[in-house]
Chain A
């Protein structure tokens, strides 16, 4: 990771304090605007109350190529109810006020269209720490690298089990905060197990120079979280929380988040 990746701020600081407690951090994903903007802000607060250290606020997109059915369905509903890109900053602010460190997960066109520099400025002003970019690779990220440098934001790029060493090095060199390791080759969603390739991928990503690696995709149970927490710096949970929100509202989100929060401490 780049030289300015100091542990004193952003997601790296959160991951460092979790490490100091000899545990992994819990990264919880929820989409803004689902079930509606107000409901999603309530859900974000519940997620923090349940113990999420980092909140990943997802911005619904019409063409979410990396998302499975649970998050896609939530995105469709949020868009049908009129969620706007600017609403992401409302949810980010709520997460920060509740005491967590917020990042945004956004498909790139939405950031591009808002204006990369303006997006970075407004995200930073709302208390956001960075952006997870599922369809942006470092080679296409010059503008984002400049804007994130200017506003002190984390650049959370992904790696996957298919990533060869040269790709891992390229991603790690461009990333800041943490590297998002996709546990399996696939899209978001709850699964029976976390892929058997995740642990090796984390080790390889560390070998490529990453200080912080968090694992996502398919983390569906407390036991999964505990398993991933043994080798990763953070455990990313998405679809399981969205499903809880769909089934039981914010109180269910808090309850499920609390189980994952125990998992990362098991």
Chain B
């Protein structure tokens, strides 16, 4: 059995700080709740019963370990580099988000909470949280930007079928950042009964560590699978980065492997020379947003700028502090990928491998194509296919002209 959780004596940062990044910039009212979950997690990882229960859920409910798929025909378009896909899209609920949602839900139960709330962008984290709530008999409310409710209608329906209440957030840019604001507002008023299942490796301490520890399984499994399959470590590991949970999940096991490049693909929307993008590390500056110090898109006063991406799950003005640290320290590389590049990669994977990826994950695929062309056929590149694309068929259909604006077949 893989030892999923970092050892207490790990040389890597365990929060609250990752270099100068991270911290806990929150209302005092929420300090006890953050401290409570931090303490509960610290105890849980030492508790055999918790570890076995979580492991049992991963094995019997999520379907772990997820597969490692050879993408041979796709590789031909990536300079001949060997592309291996870590298939988080095959997890129950269709993305990596379930790894974290189940872990936090178990923790929440341990500390006596009866209600889960969460933000969601693409809806994958919302679905995962609603699923965990249904499985464990807890109440659930999901906040989702009104723009995202519209563009990810399938996931809204899934959440409601699973018994969650879904609240469309009409404030600000009506996307992920505003959903996070609204979830914090709920939490301040409901913290006695409620746990906020933060969906990404951002937010106040301990969430960046907590979410990473539950997602770390991705890289731990993939590292062993690649070694077994190829006899060597990959030359690079590639993942998309919005808040950055699947990317940290993949990267973390490889941080000590100095020969392995860590490549995060940020959403560049219409392009980073336009204002319509979500390339937080590439174009952002250091600030405090949603409880942590990290890079963010902000104006000259520190007001948050709205982000834009075709991918709801990457459409976020902030990024997790551990990514900021990996970037600042030079260990990680972060590159922008435009909507058009991502959609080309989306189509390519459909046509060459028979896999419909999430648009989020398509950003990583696009990054892998470019990197493969740079590195050539000797290279092995591991890509996190973080989610499946069923939720995106309407967006993709419109993009490629198969559907008109109303969603009818043309």
Contacts and interface: CB of A to CB of B under 8 A. Distances in A.
B9 interface: no
A19 to B, nearest CB: 25
B5 interface: no
A61 B189 CA distance: 21
A114 B299 CA distance: 11
Contacts of A72: 171
A125 interface: no
A185 B192 contact: yes
A185 B193 CA distance: 12
A110 B188 CA distance: 22
Contact of B23 (A76, A113, A140, A184): A140
Contacts of A187: 185, 188-189
Contacts of A162: 29-33, 191-192
Given A72-B171, A187-B188, A159 B28 contact: yes
Interface in B299-318: 300-304
A158 B29 contact: yes
Contacts of A65: 27, 181, 184-185, 188, 290
A137 B304 contact: no
Interface stretch (A21-29, A92-100, A163-171, A245-253): A163-171
B298 interface: yes
Interface in B266-296: 287-291
B303 A79 contact: yes
A113 B302 contact: yes
B36 to A, nearest CB: 10
A160 B30 CA distance: 9
Interface string A34-70: 0000000000000000000000000001111110100
Contacts of A113: 287, 298, 300-302
B303 A61 contact: yes
A62 B299 CA distance: 11
A137 B28 contact: yes
A63 B181 contact: yes
Given A65-B181, A85-B301, A162-B29, A109 B287 contact: yes
B292 to A, nearest CB: 10
Contacts of B30: 162
Interface in A108-148: 108-110, 112-114, 134-137, 139-140
Contacts, number: 107
B177 interface: yes
Contacts of B326: none
Contacts of B290: 63, 65
Interface string A169-202: 0010000000000101111000000000000000
Nearest to A139: B24
Interface residues of B, number: 34
B188 A185 contact: yes
A89 interface: no
B29 A62 contact: no
A110 B302 contact: yes
A110 B303 contact: yes
B27 A63 contact: no
Interface in B303-358: 303-304
Interface string B195-222: 0000000000000000000000000000
A6 B186 CA distance: 38
A64 B289 CA distance: 10
B26 interface: yes
A254 B26 CA distance: 33
B287 A163 contact: no
A242 B185 CA distance: 20
Contacts of A84: 301
Contacts of B189: 184-187
A157 interface: yes
A19 B304 CA distance: 41
A62 B172 contact: yes
A108 B302 CA distance: 9
A113 B300 CA distance: 8
Given A63-B177, A162-B191, A167 B31 contact: yes
Interface in B215-231: none
A135 B287 contact: no
A61 B288 CA distance: 12
Contacts of A85: 301-302
A62 B175 CA distance: 13
Interface in B138-172: 171-172
Interface of B: 23-33, 171-172, 177-178, 181, 184-185, 188-192, 287-291, 298, 300-304
Given A109-B289, A112-B288, A113-B301, 18 more contacts: A61-B303, A62-B172, A63-B172, A63-B290, A63-B304, A65-B27, A76-B171, A108-B25, A109-B302, A113-B300, A135-B27, A137-B26, A162-B31, A162-B33, A162-B191, A167-B28, A186-B188, A186-B189
6 nearest CB pairs, A to B: A113-B302, A160-B29, A186-B189, A62-B304, A109-B288, A109-B302
Interface of A: 61-66, 68, 72, 76, 79, 84-85, 108-110, 112-114, 134-137, 139-140, 157-164, 167, 171, 182, 184-187
10 contacts: A65-B185, A76-B171, A79-B303, A108-B25, A109-B289, A137-B26, A163-B32, A182-B29, A186-B185, A187-B188
